[in-house]
Amino acid sequence: MSAWSETRVAGSAGVIASGFDKVGDAFAHNFEEGLELGAAFAVVIDGESVVDIRGGHTDRAKEKFWDETTLACIYSSGKAVLAFLMARAVSDGLLDYEAPVAQYWPEFAAAGKETITVAEALSHQAGLCGFPDEMPPETWLDWDAICAKLAAMAPLWAPGTANGYHPQTVGFIAGEILRRVTGKSVGALIHQLSGPHDLNLFCGMNEHDGARAAYMPKPPKAPDLGAMNEFKQYAFLKPWSSPGRVSREDWMAAELPASNMHADARSLAKVVHPLANEGRDILGAEILSDAAINDALKERSVGDDLVLPFHLSWSAGLMRNINRHFGPNENAFGHAGFGGSCVIVDPDNKLTAAYVMNKMSPYLVGDPRAVRLLDAVYASL
């Protein structure tokens, strides 16, 4: 590894392994074209970091450089972390993808949901993409209230018959399952991993860590959701579809596993690495079984998504890369976050990568900045 300081990017720093110079060039091009304010990108292959770079600014006035302490909200890229946590619970014998959610969360069986499996919930087939009935948008910060609403709710479509992205609710479903089988919240499980693995990754932050979060200007326009339907309305467009009427500090302090995790790129690439590296983490410890990985990554649903405007193939929590949104290898997996962040898992190459940034774009998935970086990675292999 050698130090990286690209003069074309203000405040640039980090390290790049020999042979990966194209990645640094791609990162610089994104800044030269005015596509970035601040960003970081990391790649881990077979347990070793080969790229860990950052640059630009964390604030609107461009007075503070993005440094090794900076955190960014990764929005739905955090769903990849959820997929890993669920796979670990399966590997530890606490959970079965094929079991009904209600086996672990009995109240969830209400209103015709008794047969929905864990895998169906994680692959967005549960029919619970959003709430049709109005509620105060600040209710999202009340874990027990949201879980009670999900437990009582009737599915919006017949479970298992179609995939329709659950932008907020899947985090509560997965998080409550994890709480029931481990006794810990998602934030607590992440905290447990963070020390040994040197992770800057949070689901729910105190004031001190929250101060490290980069300012994130909103996208210049709303994402294109395609032809409208009721499911897209409930998932994204109702006044109560996402948290509202709360302070930034309260929002960051809450645990919203599907939408408010904060991380640096290095930590995001590290935490999901066992899914790509035959179960081994960055310390070389085997923490996922082969069976759990196979079950986590196999196709669970495929079709035109009822919420996102794409034909998608879902594993148990990750998108399968059939649209090449996550680089050129169709056998890879990934997840993207609102505004442009993304994380990929590639077992073929024992590779994980993560891109985080603070200048948000309207791309739902396949942000050209991330695609450029991933293409450069694969061109370097």
Which domains, ranges and CATH numbers included, belong to the chain?
1-72+341-381 (no CATH), 76-262+285-326 (3.40.710.10)
pLDDT band at 237 (very low <50, low <70, confident <90, very high): very high
Positive or negative torsion for Cα 99, 101, 106, 108: negative
Tell me the pLDDT band of 287, cut-offs 50, 70 and 90: very high
Q: What is the mean pLDDT of residues 356-372?
A: 98
d(CA 327, CA 313) in angstroms, rounded, equals: 16
Judge residue 233's burial from the number of C-beta atoms within 10 Å of its C-beta, 0-12 exposed, 13-18 middle, 19 or more buried: middle
Q: What is the pLDDT of residues 80-111, one digit of tens each?
A: 999 999 999 999 999 999 999 999 999 999 99
Starting at the edge strand that comes first in sequence, how are the strands of the sheet with 72-73 ordered?
72-73, 262-263, 201-202
pLDDT bracket for residue 68 (50, 70, 90): very high
Q: Which amino acid is at 345?
A: V
Q: How confident is the model at residue 213 (pLDDT cuts 50, 70, 90)?
A: very high
Q: Calculate helix-pair angle for 290-297, 78-91, nearest 10 degrees.
A: 140
The mean pLDDT value of the chain amounts to 97
> Residue 154, Cβ neighbours under 10 Å: how many?
11
Measured distance CA(229)–CA(111) in Å, rounded? 23
Q: How far is CA 221 from CA 35, 59, 71, 142, 218, in A?
A: 15, 20, 24, 29, 8
Q: Closest Cα partner for 141 from 254, 242, 239?
A: 254
Confidence band of 176 (pLDDT split at 50, 70, 90) = very high
Evaluated on CA atoms 161, 165, 168, 171, the torsion sign reads positive
% of residues, the chain, pLDDT over 70: 100
| Sole residue written with tokens 């990934």 | 334
* In the chain, % of residues over pLDDT 90: 99
DSSP E strand stretches across the chain: 2-3, 13-16, 38-45, 48-56, 72-73, 201-202, 262-263, 301-304, 311-314, 319-320, 333-336, 342-346, 351-357
User: Region 277-290: what's the mean pLDDT?
Assistant: 97
Integer Cα distance of 10 and 192 in angstroms: 35
CB within 8 Å of 55: residues ≥ 6 apart? 6, 9, 10, 11, 12, 13, 14, 27, 31, 36, 38, 39, 40, 65, 66
pLDDT reported for residue 121: 98
What pLDDT is recorded for position 125?
A: 98
Give the global pTM. 0.98
What tens digit of pLDDT does each residue of 290-337 get? 999 999 999 999 999 999 999 999 999 999 999 999 999 999 999 999
Pairwise CA distance, residues 278 & 288, whole Å: 8
Read off the pLDDT of each residue in 65-89 and give the average, rounded to a whole number.
Answer: 98
Tens-place pLDDT, residues 3-41: 999 999 999 999 999 999 999 999 999 999 999 999 999
DSSP for 105-160, written as a single string = -GGGGGGGTTT-BHHHHHTT-SS-SS-SS---GGGGG-HHHHHHHHHHPPPSS-TT
